[in-house]
Every structure is written in C-alpha cells, then in structure tokens.
Amino acid sequence: MKTWIPDARQFAYLTWKQVEALPKDETLLVLPTAAIEQHGHHLPLATDTLLNNLVLGHAFAHLAPELPIYALPPVCYGKSNEHIGFPGTLSVSAATMMAVLRDLGASLAASGFKKVVLFNSHGGNTSVVDVMCRDLRAEFGLRTFYLSGMGGAKLTGLHAQERAYGFHAGEVETALLLHGTPELVHTEQYTSNYIAQVNSPDVLLPENGPATFAWLTRDIAPSGVMGDPRPATAENGALWLQAAAEKVAAALLAMYSYTNRFQP
C-alpha cells in the first residue's frame, strides 16, 4: 500500500529494543481505522485507507521530529456492510472490529504505553470506534482519543450541498486522490447521486439529524457514489489536504500534551 508516512514515524519499523526504550508515559500512538470498499466507478477500493495515510503523513510534517508520536499499521478492513453487494467490498462485523481493537489495545497496554488515538477515515466505523475509545479507557486505563480523518478542517470553496451529503466518493475524496494518487482516479467514469438535499424540510434524514433512517448504498446509489465528484480538482485536493494536515497535526500535539486536569 502506498504510504506518505515517514519511516521515522512508522512504529512497525522499530525493533523491540527500540520500543522498550520509548518514554511510555509520553509516547502517542496513532492507530488508523479505515476500509476497503467500493467507491463508485472512479475511485479505488482503498480510498479510505489511502486518504487516512495521506493526511496523517502530511500531518507528521508539521510536528517536531523529536516528539515520540508514531503511526501503527492501519486496520484496513472496516465495518462496511452498508456497501455489501458491490464487488470488492471487504467488510468485518462490528463485533469483529471491536475485538480487533480491543486486542490491539491490550497489546499496547501490555507494552506499557499510555496514550493511543484512533484516527478514523471511514464513516461506517465511527460508532464502533467511539465505543472502543471508551472501552479501552475503562478496561486498560489507556488514555484514548478519537480523531476524524479531516480533523475538522474547513474546506474552502466546497458547496453546501456537497459539504452536507457528499460523503462517499464525492468531490472531497476525489480531489484528494487527484492530488495524491491521480493514476488511480478514473475521471471518465464519474457519476453523481445525493442521498438527500441540504434544503429539504424532511423530518427523517440519512445522517446528522435528531431523527434518521438506516440505509444501504444499493438502496439509494446504484453507482455507489454519494456526492458529486465532477467539480473535483487536484488543486483543491492540495488545498484541502494542507488544511486537514494542519488540523490533524494540531490535534495530535494536543493529545500528546494532554494531562488529566481533573485527577486529584
């Protein structure tokens, strides 16, 4: 898998003696959670994993090299059953993903580490990862953090409709990969579909509302796309990547520096 993460930040490139020597109370370990799943006719199955790596790699460039912050190998397979029925989607159950994250947390705690951030770039994982952040804190005493793939970056120039409902293979993901891996974007295969309209008065919403309905991609998006990739440009991809990298770097620095101010 293509990577933008520097070798010096790759936890798996260390020897066990080098790991033993790390300052366990200070070291922050980043565990990417992503997916291998359909992304329409124009983007690769690895989109979420590539984007996770792309943003994290660029975020590291904003951190002082001496800080002990490392990327763990990613959990590439996610809870992607919303995309089942599309060839190539590889999904694990919520129970399986929770078990994997629990066992990885147990391993990190056994090695003496105290801080881990689950850095998620697939929407279908969000609820599972949120639960596991709390469970890892409760069971192992790990100081756990959650961080979304774009770090809350403001995406300048993105239309309100796309901002609200372009959440799968739409303009943002397409633009980022046009910048990062243009050879993997099939620009002649763009399709567009929205699950809802931003100005709709509907009581039930697919996402981010007080009353929502469960959906499967095949129910509402025959091509697998939720959004409109057609306006995407590599230039916007570079701009948005920089914004995301800065936000993610700032969040990682805050997590590295975090202390429990409420502990007596």
Q: Give residue limits of the domains in the chain.
A: 7-257
Retrieve residue 100's tokens.
Answer: 């994997």
Residue count of the chain, please give it: 264
Residue 170 burial by Cβ neighbours in a 10 Å radius (0-12, 13-18, 19+): buried
Domain spanning 7-257: CATH superfamily:
Creatininase (3.40.50.10310)
Tell me which residue has tokens 């930040």: 9
Would you give the DSSP letter of residue 189?
G
Tell me which residue has tokens 């996770």: 52
Beta partners for residue 195, in sequence order: none
- Give the closest residue to 42 by CA, choosing from 181, 260, 225, 220: 225
SS3 31: strand
- Is 0.75 surpassed by the pTM of this model? yes
pLDDT tens series, the chain, 264 aa: 999 999 999 999 999 999 999 999 999 999 999 999 999 999 999 999 999 999 999 999 999 999 999 999 999 999 999 999 999 999 999 999 999 999 999 999 999 999 999 999 999 999 999 999 999 999 999 999 999 999 999 999 999 999 999 999 999 999 999 999 999 999 999 999 999 898 887 888 888 789 999 999 998 899 999 999 999 999 999 999 999 999 999 999 999 999 876 654
The rounded distance, in Å, linking the Cα atoms of 40 and 250 is: 32
